[in-house]
Amino acid sequence: MIKNISNLGDAALYCDFGTEVNKEINRNVINYFNNLRDSNFLGITNITPSYNKLVISFDLKLTSFAKLKKQVENLELKKNNNSKNNLIKIPVCCAEEFALDIKRLQKLLKINEAKIYETFFSKNYYCYMTGFIAGMPFLGDMDKSLFVKRLETPRVKVPKNSIGITEQFCNIYTFESPGGWNIIGKTPVDIFDNKKNTEPNLINPGDTISFYPISKLEYEKKYE
Protein backbone atom coordinates (compact mmCIF):
# COMPACT_ATOMS: atom_id res chain seq x y z
CA MET A 1 0.00 0.00 0.00
CA ILE A 2 1.05 3.64 -0.25
CA LYS A 3 3.37 4.44 2.63
CA ASN A 4 3.42 8.15 2.15
CA ILE A 5 2.05 10.78 -0.23
CA SER A 6 4.02 13.99 -0.56
CA ASN A 7 3.99 16.80 -3.09
CA LEU A 8 6.30 16.87 -6.10
CA GLY A 9 6.21 20.59 -6.73
CA ASP A 10 2.80 22.28 -6.69
CA ALA A 11 1.16 20.17 -9.41
CA ALA A 12 1.98 16.52 -8.66
CA LEU A 13 1.59 13.84 -6.00
CA TYR A 14 4.56 11.62 -5.14
CA CYS A 15 3.25 8.32 -3.81
CA ASP A 16 5.88 6.22 -2.08
CA PHE A 17 5.36 2.45 -1.94
CA GLY A 18 8.79 1.59 -0.46
CA THR A 19 12.40 1.47 -1.51
CA GLU A 20 12.88 -2.11 -2.70
CA VAL A 21 12.39 -3.32 -6.23
CA ASN A 22 10.21 -6.39 -6.35
CA LYS A 23 7.09 -7.58 -8.10
CA GLU A 24 4.93 -7.45 -5.00
CA ILE A 25 5.52 -3.74 -4.45
CA ASN A 26 5.27 -2.99 -8.16
CA ARG A 27 1.97 -4.89 -8.48
CA ASN A 28 0.65 -2.59 -5.78
CA VAL A 29 1.82 0.44 -7.77
CA ILE A 30 0.23 -0.91 -10.96
CA ASN A 31 -2.98 -1.76 -9.12
CA TYR A 32 -3.25 1.87 -7.95
CA PHE A 33 -2.37 3.04 -11.45
CA ASN A 34 -5.16 0.94 -13.03
CA ASN A 35 -7.70 1.99 -10.40
CA LEU A 36 -6.79 5.66 -10.73
CA ARG A 37 -7.13 5.46 -14.50
CA ASP A 38 -10.74 4.34 -13.97
CA SER A 39 -11.41 6.90 -11.24
CA ASN A 40 -11.91 10.07 -13.31
CA PHE A 41 -10.74 12.29 -10.46
CA LEU A 42 -10.92 15.87 -11.67
CA GLY A 43 -7.71 17.45 -12.92
CA ILE A 44 -5.40 14.43 -13.26
CA THR A 45 -3.20 14.95 -16.32
CA ASN A 46 -0.76 12.04 -16.02
CA ILE A 47 -0.08 8.99 -13.87
CA THR A 48 3.43 7.56 -13.99
CA PRO A 49 4.06 4.20 -12.34
CA SER A 50 7.66 3.12 -11.69
CA TYR A 51 9.29 0.35 -9.62
CA ASN A 52 8.04 1.56 -6.24
CA LYS A 53 6.65 5.06 -6.80
CA LEU A 54 3.59 6.53 -8.47
CA VAL A 55 3.66 10.14 -9.64
CA ILE A 56 0.28 11.74 -10.32
CA SER A 57 0.43 15.09 -12.08
CA PHE A 58 -2.56 17.39 -12.15
CA ASP A 59 -3.80 20.68 -13.56
CA LEU A 60 -3.44 23.26 -10.81
CA LYS A 61 -6.29 25.24 -12.37
CA LEU A 62 -8.68 22.36 -11.65
CA THR A 63 -7.56 20.79 -8.38
CA SER A 64 -4.88 21.00 -5.70
CA PHE A 65 -2.45 18.78 -3.82
CA ALA A 66 -4.58 18.61 -0.66
CA LYS A 67 -7.78 17.82 -2.55
CA LEU A 68 -6.32 15.13 -4.78
CA LYS A 69 -4.31 13.59 -1.94
CA LYS A 70 -7.52 13.04 0.02
CA GLN A 71 -9.18 11.45 -3.02
CA VAL A 72 -6.25 9.08 -3.60
CA GLU A 73 -6.13 8.14 0.09
CA ASN A 74 -9.83 7.34 0.07
CA LEU A 75 -9.75 5.49 -3.24
CA GLU A 76 -11.49 2.14 -2.96
CA LEU A 77 -9.32 -0.35 -4.77
CA LYS A 78 -10.97 -2.97 -6.90
CA LYS A 79 -9.24 -6.24 -6.13
CA ASN A 80 -7.02 -7.77 -8.79
CA ASN A 81 -7.63 -5.03 -11.27
CA ASN A 82 -5.10 -6.52 -13.63
CA SER A 83 -7.41 -7.50 -16.47
CA LYS A 84 -5.53 -4.93 -18.52
CA ASN A 85 -2.32 -6.95 -18.28
CA ASN A 86 -1.28 -9.45 -20.94
CA LEU A 87 1.30 -12.08 -21.83
CA ILE A 88 3.22 -10.92 -24.90
CA LYS A 89 5.63 -13.00 -26.97
CA ILE A 90 8.59 -11.18 -28.48
CA PRO A 91 10.92 -12.79 -31.07
CA VAL A 92 14.62 -12.02 -30.73
CA CYS A 93 17.36 -12.56 -33.30
CA CYS A 94 20.75 -13.09 -31.67
CA ALA A 95 22.86 -13.00 -34.85
CA GLU A 96 26.37 -11.68 -34.27
CA GLU A 97 25.66 -8.33 -35.90
CA PHE A 98 22.77 -7.64 -33.46
CA ALA A 99 24.31 -9.10 -30.27
CA LEU A 100 26.74 -6.22 -29.84
CA ASP A 101 27.91 -7.13 -26.33
CA ILE A 102 27.73 -10.92 -26.27
CA LYS A 103 31.53 -11.31 -26.35
CA ARG A 104 31.92 -8.88 -23.45
CA LEU A 105 29.26 -10.76 -21.49
CA GLN A 106 30.94 -14.14 -22.00
CA LYS A 107 34.11 -12.68 -20.54
CA LEU A 108 32.47 -10.83 -17.64
CA LEU A 109 30.06 -13.61 -16.66
CA LYS A 110 32.40 -16.50 -17.50
CA ILE A 111 29.53 -18.34 -19.19
CA ASN A 112 29.49 -19.36 -22.85
CA GLU A 113 27.17 -17.79 -25.39
CA ALA A 114 24.82 -20.78 -25.66
CA LYS A 115 24.31 -20.90 -21.90
CA ILE A 116 23.69 -17.14 -21.71
CA TYR A 117 20.91 -17.40 -24.28
CA GLU A 118 19.49 -20.61 -22.80
CA THR A 119 19.23 -18.87 -19.42
CA PHE A 120 17.82 -15.67 -20.91
CA PHE A 121 15.10 -17.40 -22.94
CA SER A 122 14.07 -19.81 -20.17
CA LYS A 123 12.30 -17.12 -18.11
CA ASN A 124 9.32 -14.85 -18.42
CA TYR A 125 9.84 -11.20 -17.58
CA TYR A 126 7.55 -8.79 -15.80
CA CYS A 127 7.15 -5.20 -17.01
CA TYR A 128 7.74 -2.88 -14.04
CA MET A 129 7.30 0.30 -16.02
CA THR A 130 7.60 1.85 -19.45
CA GLY A 131 9.15 5.16 -20.29
CA PHE A 132 12.29 7.23 -20.36
CA ILE A 133 11.88 7.15 -24.14
CA ALA A 134 8.48 6.42 -25.70
CA GLY A 135 7.36 2.86 -25.08
CA MET A 136 10.61 1.52 -23.59
CA PRO A 137 9.75 -1.36 -21.21
CA PHE A 138 11.80 -2.06 -18.07
CA LEU A 139 11.56 -5.82 -17.55
CA GLY A 140 12.71 -8.17 -14.80
CA ASP A 141 13.97 -10.13 -13.15
CA MET A 142 17.01 -11.61 -14.85
CA ASP A 143 18.49 -14.86 -13.60
CA LYS A 144 21.21 -14.02 -11.05
CA SER A 145 23.87 -15.68 -13.22
CA LEU A 146 23.31 -12.94 -15.84
CA PHE A 147 23.60 -9.91 -13.53
CA VAL A 148 26.02 -7.50 -15.16
CA LYS A 149 26.84 -3.80 -14.94
CA ARG A 150 26.17 -1.20 -17.61
CA LEU A 151 28.87 -0.39 -20.18
CA GLU A 152 31.53 1.89 -18.69
CA THR A 153 31.06 4.22 -21.62
CA PRO A 154 27.49 4.31 -22.93
CA ARG A 155 26.96 3.95 -26.68
CA VAL A 156 26.08 7.17 -28.46
CA LYS A 157 23.63 5.23 -30.61
CA VAL A 158 21.98 1.96 -29.63
CA PRO A 159 20.12 0.62 -32.69
CA LYS A 160 16.32 0.68 -32.51
CA ASN A 161 14.71 -2.62 -31.33
CA SER A 162 17.87 -3.81 -29.54
CA ILE A 163 17.43 -5.98 -26.44
CA GLY A 164 19.64 -4.84 -23.55
CA ILE A 165 20.40 -6.26 -20.12
CA THR A 166 21.83 -4.74 -16.95
CA GLU A 167 21.74 -6.04 -13.40
CA GLN A 168 18.31 -7.54 -12.66
CA PHE A 169 16.64 -5.92 -15.69
CA CYS A 170 16.31 -6.17 -19.44
CA ASN A 171 14.75 -3.67 -21.85
CA ILE A 172 14.00 -2.98 -25.49
CA TYR A 173 15.25 0.21 -27.16
CA THR A 174 12.11 1.48 -28.87
CA PHE A 175 14.06 4.20 -30.70
CA GLU A 176 17.67 4.66 -31.69
CA SER A 177 19.01 6.28 -28.58
CA PRO A 178 22.12 6.73 -26.47
CA GLY A 179 22.37 3.96 -23.87
CA GLY A 180 24.61 1.85 -21.69
CA TRP A 181 22.83 -1.51 -21.48
CA ASN A 182 24.51 -4.71 -22.74
CA ILE A 183 22.99 -5.58 -26.11
CA ILE A 184 22.26 -9.27 -26.72
CA GLY A 185 19.94 -9.23 -29.74
CA LYS A 186 17.30 -7.45 -31.74
CA THR A 187 13.58 -7.93 -32.35
CA PRO A 188 11.86 -7.34 -35.70
CA VAL A 189 8.73 -6.22 -33.81
CA ASP A 190 8.15 -2.49 -33.30
CA ILE A 191 7.41 -2.14 -29.59
CA PHE A 192 6.35 1.46 -30.10
CA ASP A 193 4.49 2.17 -33.33
CA ASN A 194 4.29 5.92 -33.85
CA LYS A 195 1.81 5.42 -36.69
CA LYS A 196 -0.81 3.84 -34.45
CA ASN A 197 -3.11 6.45 -33.02
CA THR A 198 -4.44 4.26 -30.21
CA GLU A 199 -2.26 2.19 -27.92
CA PRO A 200 0.96 2.74 -29.86
CA ASN A 201 2.93 0.75 -27.29
CA LEU A 202 2.86 -3.03 -27.36
CA ILE A 203 3.97 -3.48 -23.74
CA ASN A 204 2.30 -1.87 -20.72
CA PRO A 205 3.33 -1.78 -17.06
CA GLY A 206 2.20 -5.05 -15.43
CA ASP A 207 2.43 -7.15 -18.63
CA THR A 208 4.47 -10.33 -18.82
CA ILE A 209 6.97 -10.85 -21.65
CA SER A 210 8.17 -14.12 -23.08
CA PHE A 211 11.16 -13.80 -25.44
CA TYR A 212 11.87 -16.54 -27.99
CA PRO A 213 14.83 -16.92 -30.35
CA ILE A 214 14.52 -16.64 -34.14
CA SER A 215 17.07 -17.12 -36.91
CA LYS A 216 18.40 -14.38 -39.14
CA LEU A 217 16.19 -15.72 -41.94
CA GLU A 218 13.06 -15.50 -39.79
CA TYR A 219 14.12 -12.03 -38.66
CA GLU A 220 14.33 -10.85 -42.25
CA LYS A 221 10.97 -12.43 -43.09
CA LYS A 222 9.27 -10.72 -40.16
CA TYR A 223 10.81 -7.45 -41.15
CA GLU A 224 9.22 -7.51 -44.58
Partner 1 sequence: MKKNMNKNYFEVLRPGINSTFQDNGRNNFYHIGIPFSGAMDNRNFLLANTISNNEINNPVLEFAYQGPKLKYIGENISINVTGDVNFKIIRKNKNLEFSCYENIILENNDCLDILSTNRSVYGYLSIGGTFEVDYYLNSCSTNTKAKIGANSGEKLEKGQIIHLKNIKKILPKNKIEYLNSKIENIRIIKGPHFDYFSKDAIDSFLSDEFNVTKLSDRMGIRLKGPKINNIKNTNIKSEGLVKGVIQITADGDPIIMLSDHGTIGGYPKIGVVISADYDKLVQIPPGSKIKFKEINLKDAETIFKLYEMETQNLISNIK
Interface residues with partner 1 (CB under 8 A) are: 6-12, 14, 16, 19, 21, 33, 44-55, 57, 60-61, 64-65, 129-136, 138, 174-175, 192, 194, 197, 200-201, 204-205
Distance of closest approach, residue 18 Cβ to partner 1, in angstroms:
10
**Residue whose CB is less far from partner 1, 63 or 93:** 63
Distance of closest approach, residue 129 Cβ to partner 1, in angstroms:
7
Distance of closest approach, residue 138 Cβ to partner 1, in angstroms:
7
**Residue whose CB is less far from partner 1, 46 or 122:** 46
**Residue whose CB is less far from partner 1, 21 or 111:** 21
Distance of closest approach, residue 219 Cβ to partner 1, in angstroms:
23
Distance of closest approach, residue 67 Cβ to partner 1, in angstroms:
11
Q: Cα–Cα distance between 25 and 78 in angstroms, integer?
A: 17
**Residue whose CB is less far from partner 1, 206 or 219:** 206
Chain centre to alpha carbon of residue 146: 18
Give DSSP secondary structure letters for the chain. Answer: ---EEEESTTSEEEEE--S---HHHHHHHHHHHHHHHHH--TTEEEEEE-SSEEEEEE-TTT--HHHHHHHHHTPPPPTT--TT--EEEEEEE--TTT-TTHHHHHHHHT--HHHHHHHHHTSEEEEEEE-SSTT-EEEE---GGG--PPPSS-EEEEPTTEEEEETTEEEE-SSSEEE-SEEEEE-SS-SB-TT-SS--BS--TT-EEEEEEE-HHHHHHHH-
Distance of closest approach, residue 175 Cβ to partner 1, in angstroms:
7
**Residue whose CB is less far from partner 1, 11 or 163:** 11
**Residue whose CB is less far from partner 1, 122 or 153:** 153
Sheet holding 12-16, edge to edge: 4-7, 12-16, 53-58, 44-49
